Structure 1
Amino acid sequence: MTTVTLLTDDELSPAAKAVFDDIRATRNSDFVNNFWRALAHDPKTLKRTWESIKEVMAPGALDPKTKEMLYVAVSIAHGCAYCIHSHTAGARAKGMTDEEYAEMVAIVGMASETNRLVTALGVPTDEAFLVGSPEGSGAAKGRPD
């Protein structure tokens, strides 16, 4: 349940309207999702967040589908249902298959389990995994994964 009202286009300040216009232009869509409508109460946070997301999700070394899938994985780990749905839709729009989704979820589940085990056991980091180590600059040899 929302803790703020979701602003309609008619309720936007001029600063928030400018951000919405950029969202629409960047995405080539008239749709502005609820996250941005909630943030529109604070145009400075809205603008800063949009500019950051626009930069991080822009074309780069990682392809757009991979970026969306990473967003889904982090959202699963943090338990953000809205983010899971939003970025799953984005990843599917960029070509993610059901098989890729299932494999990603299995990886997230396994990573969550092994992260908790390592933390609970206080396992020290292997020297071979550290960047700049004499054992291969972090590239551990012979790992099964």
Structure 2
Amino acid sequence: MTPPIEYEDATAEVRAIYDDIRATRGTDYINNVWKCFAHNPKLLRRTWESVKEVMGPGTLDPVVKEMIYLAVSISNNCGYCIASHSAGAQKAGMTDEMFGEVMDIVGMANENNKLVAGYRVPIDDVYLKVRGAD
């Protein structure tokens, strides 16, 4: 286990990133993920900048962004991210009913993805006209 680096033990470079996290999120709390990533300040900065940009204001509502992140975290079996983004989604407005639907979708999509991959289902021509399909 990588020990978290607390603010008082951090380098000036890491403290500046912690300060940005606090200011952007409007909190004094720094998550353990950032504290562990602080062992590699370049990784910490790059990851924080990416999260700040992607999860910040945009076309999608914050609750939708958090539920998407939660769904991916469940599929990737990342316990830390499941806990973090469950809390984030709840804070953004996810209800128990919404969580249940997310779980239904995650379960169904994972099952169907495995079946389609196993059967090597050919992609329909009509879907090849959709953005990003090959």
Report the TM-score, using the length of structure 2 for normalisation: 0.95
Counterpart in the other structure of 1:5:
3
Deviation at 1:131, TM superposition (A): 2.3
- The one of 54, 59, 62 aligned to 2:60: 62
> Unmatched 5+ residue regions in structure 1?
139-145
Aligned mates of 1:108, 1:83 — CA distance in 2: 15
Aligned mates of 1:58, 1:5 — CA distance in 2: 28
Report the TM-score, using the length of structure 1 for normalisation: 0.88
Deviation at 1:9, TM superposition (A): 1.0
Greater helix fraction, Structure 1 or Structure 2: 2
* 1:63-82 equivalent positions in 2, closer than 5 A: 63-82=61-80
Q: Which amino acid aligns with 1:124?
A: P
Counterpart in the other structure of 1:46:
44
Deviations 1:58-115 (A, max 9, x none): 1111111100000000000000011001001000000000000001001000000000
Counterpart in the other structure of 1:85:
83
Equivalent pairs counted in the alignment come to 132
**Are 1:104 and 2:102 matched, yes or no?**
yes
Q: Which amino acid aligns with 1:63?
A: D
Deviation at 1:41, TM superposition (A): 0.8
Aligned mates of 1:82, 1:58 — CA distance in 2: 20
Aligned mates of 2:56, 2:93 — CA distance in 1: 17
Aligned mates of 2:89, 2:128 — CA distance in 1: 32
- The one of 120, 123, 128 aligned to 1:122: 120
Q: Which amino acid aligns with 1:32?
A: I
Aligned mates of 1:58, 1:15 — CA distance in 2: 23
1:125 is paired with a residue of what secondary structure?
coil
Runs of 4+ off more than 3 Å: none
Aligned mates of 1:9, 1:19 — CA distance in 2: 10
Q: Which structure ranks higher in relative contact order (CA pairs < 8 Å, sequence separation ≥ 6)?
A: 2
Root-mean-square deviation (Å): 1.3
